[in-house]
């Protein structure tokens, strides 16, 4: 079922729901410049076997309002959109799963609105905390000294994006996914080509959004609140992630009180078919344990 939610004046967000209406809600929050279709269909279906799964398009993605150039907003406003989606769908509390920027938004909700969450799962993201990272040998790494984004990704992101038509844009995106995937698992060009064709068809155009990279990101740190967290939280470690490589996941799990850590072997900063089943199992095991508790 598809539905538009009024998140703010002049801002409408596209949402989709799948699964039993009376099942525990599970909200999927994608990364920067990624629409809700960034969550692959097989993964959504697997989660919908046990949950009322909701995915949505951020502002300036997919079928939601594209308005940043006329009305700039902050990253914090995207976190407010998470609550707006829950309110608009009449959901008091939900499990939340956030990837990349979506994992940061989920942390902000975890810190600011814990009463709205049943659990949180964080994937491919960094901690919104200044807490030091502790190595297994007991030594520490300052939060601001954790490894940065790989040079290959930075070089790719530094290239100007030129419009040479839909076909060329799809191929550019495939190259992007190849780098983000991390190289530990076989890369399927045809899978990501079909994936991007679906995204473009859903969006209605192949333009590249830049709003989330330009939005103000001040006021995102939640060090103290994350350290006092009481919401069951799972951190997914992706060992091949070139954006937030280890020990970012370990640091994240240390910053959030009570967080558990699980590794998906070979996973990078992408969701290829090889990770769908283990990722769904990790999420459902986590949400299932919360339900039992």
d(CA 50, CA 284): 8
Find the catalytic residue in 241, 248, 251, 286: 241
Residues in the chain: 293
Both ends of the chain: CA-CA distance in Å? Answer: 30
CA 64 to centroid of chain Cα atoms: 17
Residue 163 appears among annotated catalytic residues: no
Q: Which two tokens stand for residue 201?
A: 């068809």
Per-position pLDDT tens, the chain of length 293? 999 999 999 999 999 999 999 999 999 999 999 999 999 999 999 999 999 999 999 999 999 999 999 999 999 999 999 999 999 999 999 999 999 999 999 999 999 999 999 999 999 999 999 999 998 888 899 999 999 999 999 999 998 888 889 999 999 999 999 999 999 999 999 999 999 999 999 999 999 888 998 999 999 999 999 999 999 999 999 999 999 999 999 999 999 999 999 999 999 999 999 999 999 999 999 999 987 77
Angle among Cα 280, 26, 78 to the nearest 5 degrees reads 110
| CB hemisphere CA count around 205 (13 angstroms) | 9
User: CB–CB of 101/32 below 8 Å?
Assistant: yes
Rounded Cα–Cα distance for residues 10 and 247 (Å): 40
67 catalytic per annotation: no
Domains along the chain with CATH numbers:
2-292 (3.40.50.1820)
Active site residue: 60, 64, 81, 100, which one?
A: 100
Cβ–Cβ < 8 Å for 238, 182:
yes
Closest to 260 measured CA to CA, from 285, 293, 224 = 285
CA-CA distances (angstroms) from residue 144 to 62, 84, 131, 261, 276? 33, 32, 9, 21, 32
pLDDT in the model for residue 162:
85
6 classed as catalytic: no
Q: Which residues of 36-57 are buried (b: 16+ CB within 10 A; e: fewer)?
A: bbbbbeebbebbbebbbbbbbb
């Amino acid at each position: 079922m598809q539905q538009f939610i009024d998140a703010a004046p002049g801002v409408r967000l596209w949402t989709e729901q799948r699964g039993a209406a009376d099942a525990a809600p599970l909200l999927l929050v994608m990364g920067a410049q990624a629409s809700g279709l960034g969550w692959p269909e097989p993964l959504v279906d697997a989660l919908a076997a046990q949950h009322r799964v909701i995915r949505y398009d951020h502002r300036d993605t997919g079928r939601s309002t594209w308005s940043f150039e006329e009305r700039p907003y902050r990253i914090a406003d995207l976190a407010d959109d998470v609550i707006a989606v829950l309110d608009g769908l009449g959901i008091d509390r939900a499990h939340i799963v956030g990837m990349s920027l979506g994992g940061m938004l989920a942390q902000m909700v975890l810190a600011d609105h814990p009463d709205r969450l049943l659990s949180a799962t964080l994937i491919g993201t960094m901690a919104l905390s200044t807490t030091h990272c502790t190595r297994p040998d007991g030594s520490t790494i300052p939060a601001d000294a954790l490894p940065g984004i790989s040079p290959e990704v930075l070089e790719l992101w530094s290239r100007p994006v030129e419009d040479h038509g839909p076909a060329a844009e799809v191929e550019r995106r495939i190259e992007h996914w190849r780098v983000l995937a991390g190289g530990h698992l076989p890369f399927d060009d045809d899978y990501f080509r079909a994936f991007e064709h679906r995204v473009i068809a859903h969006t209605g155009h192949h333009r590249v959004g830049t709003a989330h990279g330009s939005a103000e990101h001040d006021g995102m740190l939640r060090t103290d609140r994350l350290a006092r967290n009481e919401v069951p939280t799972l951190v997914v470690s992706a060992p091949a992630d070139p954006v937030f490589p280890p020990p970012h996941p370990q640091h994240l799990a240390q910053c959030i009180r009570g967080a558990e850590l699980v590794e998906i072997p070979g996973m990078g900063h992408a969701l290829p078919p090889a990770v769908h089943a283990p990722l769904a199992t990790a999420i459902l095991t986590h949400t299932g344990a919360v339900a039992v508790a």
